[in-house]
Amino acid sequence: MTNQISLIKQTDIIITVASWEERFITGMYGLIDAVTAKSIIMFFYKEYYNWSKDNIEKLKNTCKERGINIISKELSFASSFDTWGMLVNTIQNDIQFRDYITIDISTMPREAIWIICHLLDQKGYKIQYTYHTPNAYPSDWLSRDPGKPRLVYKLAGISKLNKPTTLVILTGFDIERARQLVRYFEPDNLLLGIQTGMQYENLHQNRERHEAGFTRHRGVKYFDIDGYSVNNCLLTLENETRHFKDSNVVISSLGPKLSALALYEFKVKNKDIALSYAPSNEYNHEYSSGYKDRIIGILHE
Amino acid sequence: MINKYINPFEYEPATKLDVEQVIKYYIEDFNYSRFIFSRRNIFLVGERGTGKTMSFLYYSLPVQYLKVANSREKIDLSIISVYIPCNTPLVHRREHELLDNLNASLVSEHFFVVSIMASIVSTLLKIVKLMSQREEIKFRAEMEYILGIELLKDAPTLQALLIALDRANVNAQEALNSDNKETIYKLISFSSGLRPLLSSLSRIPKLKNSHYSLMIDDAQLLNQYQISALNSWIAYRDNELFSFKIATTRVEAPSLLTSSGGNILEGHDFTKIEMEQPYQNKLSSFGKLARQIITRRLKTIGINNSPEEFFPINQQFIEDIESAEKQAKLEAQEKYKNGTTKQIDDYVYKYKRAIYFRDRSKRANLPPYTGFELLIHLSTGVIRNLLDPPYHMFDRMYSEMHAANGGGTVIVDKIPPNIQDEIIKERSKIKWEWIKNDLDNTIEGCSREEAQRVYRLMDNLAILFKKRLLANISEPRAVVFTISGYEQVKHSELDKILLLSRKAQMLYVFTSSAKDSGKRETYYMPNRILWPQRGLDAQGQHARVSIMADHLLNSIKSNTEIPFKGDEQDDEPNLFDQTD
């Protein structure tokens, strides 16, 4: 991971999702300067408003001081229908045509990332993404109380009749969320992408736990993946799924947030596959600590 | 000679088994599953692992075809059973939520109907020489007229029909994915597609007397529009040509509402089969089913031992139970001076195990848990639970033997009591740890607080049952309970915890008739795999304990022990008493 700030494109608009995490506010302060933003669309989830409101107010005040227009809109984990409606209306009505738009995916749920990218793509905008890495994740838990997995509106692909289901999961720290997806879809083929590298004690927390946790699943296939590189991730996905084209492929990301973009890229290139979101109803207040670095890139490049 | 590692107690979902394995493993008796091969509308209700999918797959035409091929009999086409899975990405689509009710209903029915039609056509492809050339031309013309499309000329008719159905399926999905609201797609309904297809098929001579048993698996996953459409088709009660067999979980059982707002009724429109079986002694239906399952599984690896021989009981346990039996007999003779033989025998039957457990408790270590009959009780009437400990026992035994003989050929012809005991306690401990630490990471809609409450409920039930086991009361080994003093509003928090416990399959629910009034009553049976870790008798018995809803509520909210009042507790023998 390197700070690629020299590559950043100037864009008028940033789309972000507010969070209580330090990397949200610190990252946004830097990002505003880096892209010379004139306007910010800040979504927030009502279920976590109380945790996030200090950061929301801080960002609003900063924007006010610096003459940056900021629009704040409420989303809901509990109602993907309402969230969809809000995202569609905002992107259709509140954005005048721009060449590039920056989305800050650092604290943006994957479902929102996919829908926002889809809607921006439909309008013909080019998407610059940024991801702010934290200094550390907690050692105990990140999220719990899993909700029912769901296919994402408009991104559920094309399911063929009488074909087996292949589930591809880019795994993360929470093995139970992966299990939840497997229980829900009961796939005929299961492919588990395991993050390479030693970051955040990755090897112990991810690889070993998943390999131990799925020993009883017949025919499970593991593959290494670098979720921190959208392009490498995409290439790996193309390679690992090539033998499963004749099945209904459902794909989900629980690993590094950047892998969600790779999944979206993969989905755009393979219109038949379905994107699935595995929600959690409870996040750790200490979800991450600090702000370490910024990763930037351009989607579809 | 077995060289390859094959664990005969494999219990992966039935859809993972190949056709041969389904034939090899399936037991037709003691589970009412023959109802599936009938012309009635049937609901199979049971949680995961109770054998619903296996039953459906077994009766599906491809499996029946292979079965008769093996036996050189002729296939019976009077009932053609078609397996229709609902756990597919197509069913999981949610775009109907973005549409108005009418369009949501139409498009949902379309996907469902097209899936059913494709399953029927795929099933019929298994029938050799289904149609003559002339019949095929006629059938093709009818289908083209019905669906308003031209079938591919170069493909055989059924293949061409499958391609057309897939096209209709793809078109509708593309329209939903697109944001062009003007996109037109031709939708197929029950009336315009499925019903005419079945009618056309009935005009093919080979199928003229065939009835289609449409087996809808995992119906709880269908959306509300698909459920109400399905219920409406059931309500027709046109069982001459087709019937529905519907498998669903009990916890998330779909509504019985039809599209027109009516209800389908059990007994009137459909027959319900409960797949979880409340009685688990060796003479019960489940006991007999379990025996056949284990015997059949052992035979697949060339072992002809009986289940009792394969899972021998700990010798010390046998001796201790014999000693407890003698003690119980002495107590009975003391209590019933001049008593009848029946009185003495009843007392001995009821108390010998309780006496054994009371004596063991003084030594403060857990008793050994071994034997086939115990495995049946530990299953709590669920086939997957029955296979879980043996699966792990076999694996452990195989590993030890394999390592001991340097990687050579291994034949596991029994599981020694020490390994049985070790695995059962381990599985029990894992369940407790899972409830305590991971329930909220696993069960949808379960928060950390609620996970703690489920743990408290199970923990306090274990404490109550332990106190009862050690007390000198009339029904010491009761491990089933009913709830008294229940009020809907006041106990909604309790309701949620009971529901989550059921979702986690830590609690099973049955209804039965109360002995005194004959009224239907709800019985709660915690998963008996929990009891070995607490030194309880997993063999259960006999009575149900009536627990006040308030007491259960206190136990989950403030971790207060459920009061134990000795023989004053409202417990009584009931139907369980007669059969367990």
pLDDT of A202 over the 70 cut:
no
- Number of domains, chain B: 2
pLDDT of A142 over the 80 cut:
no
Q: Are A278 and A292 contained in the same domain?
A: no
Q: Are B468 and B563 contained in the same domain?
A: yes
Q: Which amino acid belongs to residue B509? A: V
Highest mean pLDDT out of A231-235, B158-162, B568-572: B158-162
Q: How confident is the model at residue B361 (pLDDT cuts 50, 70, 90)?
A: low
pLDDT given for residue B186 in this prediction = 81
CA–CA gap between residue A151 and residue A80 (Å, rounded): 11
Q: Are A239 and A211 contained in the same domain?
A: yes
CA–CA gap between residue B142 and residue B136 (Å, rounded): 10
Q: Are A34 and A93 contained in the same domain?
A: yes
- Number of domains, chain A: 2
pLDDT of B32 over the 80 cut:
no
Candidates A83, A111, A114, A162, partner chain B, best to mutate (most B CBs within 10 A):
A162
Q: Are A79 and A14 contained in the same domain?
A: yes
Q: Are A183 and A214 contained in the same domain?
A: yes
Which one is predicted more confidently, B487 or B169?
B169
Rg, C-alpha atoms of chain B: 27
CA–CA gap between residue B386 and residue B384 (Å, rounded): 5
Q: Are A180 and A267 contained in the same domain?
A: yes
* Span of B188-202, B203-217, B249-263, B526-540 with lowest mean pLDDT: B249-263
Q: How confident is the model at residue A149 (pLDDT cuts 50, 70, 90)?
A: very high
Classify B67 in phi/psi space as left (phi over 0), alpha (psi -120 to 50) or beta.
alpha
Any idea what the CATH number is for the domain that residue A85 is in?
Answer: 3.40.50.11700
pLDDT given for residue B572 in this prediction = 53
Q: A101 in helix, strand or coil?
A: strand
* Span of A98-107, B306-315, B452-461 with lowest mean pLDDT: A98-107
Q: Tell me the mean pLDDT in the region B59-78.
A: 86
Q: Are A242 and A157 contained in the same domain?
A: yes
Angle at CA of residue B278, ends B273 and B279, nearest 5°: 120
Q: Are B266 and B414 contained in the same domain?
A: no
Is the distance from CB of A8 to CB of A296 less than 8 angstroms?
Answer: yes
What pLDDT, in 10s, does the model give residues A109-132?
A: 999 999 999 999 999 999 999 999
In terms of residues, how long is chain A?
301
Which one is predicted more confidently, A216 or B323?
B323
pLDDT given for residue B577 in this prediction = 41
pLDDT given for residue A24 in this prediction = 93
Classify B445 in phi/psi space as left (phi over 0), alpha (psi -120 to 50) or beta.
left
Residues 6 or more apart in contact with residue B47 via CB below 8 angstroms: B249, B250, B251, B276, B382, B502, B505, B508
Look at residue B306 and tell me if it is in a domain.
yes
Look at residue B117 and tell me if it is in a domain.
yes
Q: Are B408 and B488 contained in the same domain?
A: yes
B302 touches chain A (CB under 8 A): no
pLDDT of A140 over the 70 cut:
no
Last residue of a domain, one of B274, B297, B332: B274
Residue A11 phi/psi, 5° resolution? -135, 145
Q: Do A161 and B447 touch (CB under 8 A)?
A: no
Q: A127 in helix, strand or coil?
A: strand
Is the distance from CB of B159 to CB of B82 less than 8 angstroms?
Answer: no
Report long-range pairs for B362-369 (Cβ below 8 Å, ≥24 apart): B366/B425, B366/B532, B366/B533, B366/B535, B367/B317, B367/B535, B368/B314, B368/B316, B368/B317, B368/B417, B368/B421, B369/B420, B369/B421, B369/B424, B369/B425, B369/B532, B369/B538
Look at residue B5 and tell me if it is in a domain.
no
Q: Are A26 and A60 contained in the same domain?
A: yes
Q: Tell me the mean pLDDT in the region B464-489.
A: 87
Q: Tell me the mean pLDDT in the region A3-12.
A: 70
Residue A87 phi/psi, 5° resolution? -65, -45
Q: Do A159 and B173 touch (CB under 8 A)?
A: yes
Q: Are B203 and B307 contained in the same domain?
A: no
List the structure tokens of B324.
Answer: 């407890």
pLDDT of B228 over the 80 cut:
yes
Which one is predicted more confidently, B11 or B159?
B159
Q: Are A176 and A218 contained in the same domain?
A: yes
Q: Are B218 and B301 contained in the same domain?
A: no
Q: Are B38 and B58 contained in the same domain?
A: yes
Is the distance from CB of B521 to CB of B513 less than 8 angstroms?
Answer: yes
Mean pLDDT of chain B: 88
pLDDT of A211 over the 50 cut:
yes
Last residue of a domain, one of B250, B274, B298: B274
pLDDT given for residue B211 in this prediction = 95
* Span of B486-495, B539-548, B570-579 with lowest mean pLDDT: B570-579
Q: Identify which of A84, A147, A165 has the shortest CB distance to residue B88.
A: A165
Q: How confident is the model at residue A201 (pLDDT cuts 50, 70, 90)?
A: low
Count of alpha carbons within 13 angstroms of residue B423, beta-carbon side? 23
Q: Tell me the mean pLDDT in the region B138-148.
A: 94
Q: Tell me the mean pLDDT in the region A175-179.
A: 83
Q: Are B523 and B491 contained in the same domain?
A: yes
Residues 6 or more apart in contact with residue B246 via CB below 8 angstroms: B41, B42, B43, B44, B216, B219, B230, B270
Which one is predicted more confidently, B416 or A133?
B416
What percent of chain B is predicted at pLDDT more than 90? 59
What pLDDT, in 10s, does the model give residues B442-453?
A: 888 888 899 999
Look at residue B180 and tell me if it is in a domain.
yes
Under DSSP, the state recorded for B437 is: I
Candidates B92, B217, B218, partner chain A, best to mutate (most A CBs within 10 A):
B92
What pLDDT, in 10s, does the model give residues A17-60?
A: 999 888 899 999 999 999 888 999 999 999 989 999 999 999 99
What pLDDT, in 10s, does the model give residues B75-90?
A: 889 999 999 999 999 9
pLDDT given for residue B183 in this prediction = 57
ipTM given for this complex: 0.91
What pLDDT, in 10s, does the model give residues B369-422?
A: 999 999 999 999 899 999 999 999 999 999 999 888 877 788 899 999 999 999
Q: Are A22 and A33 contained in the same domain?
A: yes
Q: Are B412 and B495 contained in the same domain?
A: yes
Q: Do A153 and B114 touch (CB under 8 A)?
A: no
Give the bridge partners for A190, in sequence order: A167
Kindly give the residue spans of alpha helices, DSSP state H, lying in B2-132: 19-25, 52-59, 61-71, 89-92, 101-124
Which residue range forms the structural domain that includes residue B500?
285-314+368-579
A284 touches chain B (CB under 8 A): no
Q: How confident is the model at residue A160 (pLDDT cuts 50, 70, 90)?
A: very high
* Enclosing H/E stretch for A124: none
B240 touches chain A (CB under 8 A): no
Q: Do A147 and B444 touch (CB under 8 A)?
A: yes
Classify B286 in phi/psi space as left (phi over 0), alpha (psi -120 to 50) or beta.
alpha
Q: Are B247 and B291 contained in the same domain?
A: no
What percent of chain A is predicted at pLDDT more than 70? 92
| Angle, in degrees to the nearest 10, between helices A49-66 and A22-35 | 20
| Angle, in degrees to the nearest 10, between helices A80-93 and A110-122 | 40
Which residue range forms the structural domain that includes residue A42?
5-137+286-298
* Enclosing H/E stretch for B256: none
Residues 6 or more apart in contact with residue B195 via CB below 8 angstroms: none
B395 touches chain A (CB under 8 A): no
pLDDT given for residue B140 in this prediction = 96
How many helices and strands in chain B, by DSSP H and E? Answer: 21, 10
Q: Tell me the mean pLDDT in the region A77-88.
A: 94
Q: How far is A59 from chain B (nearest CA, A)?
A: 31
pLDDT given for residue B580 in this prediction = 36
pLDDT given for residue A5 in this prediction = 47
pLDDT given for residue A219 in this prediction = 76
Alpha-carbon torsion A216, A220, A224, A229, what sign? negative
Any idea what the CATH number is for the domain that residue A214 is in?
Answer: 3.40.50.10770
Look at residue B349 and tell me if it is in a domain.
no
CA–CA gap between residue A280 and residue B447 (Å, rounded): 10
A92 touches chain B (CB under 8 A): no
Residues 6 or more apart in contact with residue B99 via CB below 8 angstroms: B107
Q: Are A133 and A153 contained in the same domain?
A: no
List the structure tokens of B496.
Answer: 């949620």
Q: Are B535 and B510 contained in the same domain?
A: yes
Give the bridge partners for A92, in sequence order: none
CA–CA gap between residue A221 and residue B5 (Å, rounded): 20
Q: Tell me the mean pLDDT in the region B195-199.
A: 95
Q: How confident is the model at residue A3 (pLDDT cuts 50, 70, 90)?
A: very low
* Enclosing H/E stretch for A167: strand A165-170
pLDDT given for residue B283 in this prediction = 67
Look at residue B337 and tell me if it is in a domain.
no
Q: Tell me the mean pLDDT in the region B301-328.
A: 94
Q: Are A112 and A167 contained in the same domain?
A: no
Last residue of a domain, one of B224, B249, B274: B274
Q: CA-CA distances (angstroms) from residue A64 to A51, A68, B137, B286?
A: 22, 6, 75, 71
pLDDT given for residue B53 in this prediction = 92
pLDDT of A210 over the 80 cut:
no
Q: Are B398 and B425 contained in the same domain?
A: yes
CA–CA gap between residue B216 and residue B220 (Å, rounded): 10
Question: How many contacts does A have with B, using Cβ atoms within 8 A?
Answer: 110
What pLDDT, in 10s, does the model give residues A248-278?
A: 999 999 888 899 999 999 999 999 999 999 8
How large is the greatest C-alpha to C-alpha distance in chain B, in angstroms?
90
Which of B351, B355, B338, B382 shows the shortest CA–CA distance to B529? B382
Is the distance from CB of A132 to CB of A277 less than 8 angstroms?
Answer: no
Q: Do A161 and B97 touch (CB under 8 A)?
A: no
Q: How confident is the model at residue B579 (pLDDT cuts 50, 70, 90)?
A: very low
Q: B142 in helix, strand or coil?
A: helix
List the structure tokens of A95.
Answer: 């954005």
pLDDT given for residue B250 in this prediction = 84
Q: Are B227 and B298 contained in the same domain?
A: no
Q: CA-CA distances (angstroms) from residue B117 to A256, B141, B164, B337?
A: 42, 17, 11, 72
Q: B463 in helix, strand or coil?
A: helix
Alpha-carbon torsion B155, B160, B166, B171, what sign? positive
Look at residue B158 and tell me if it is in a domain.
yes
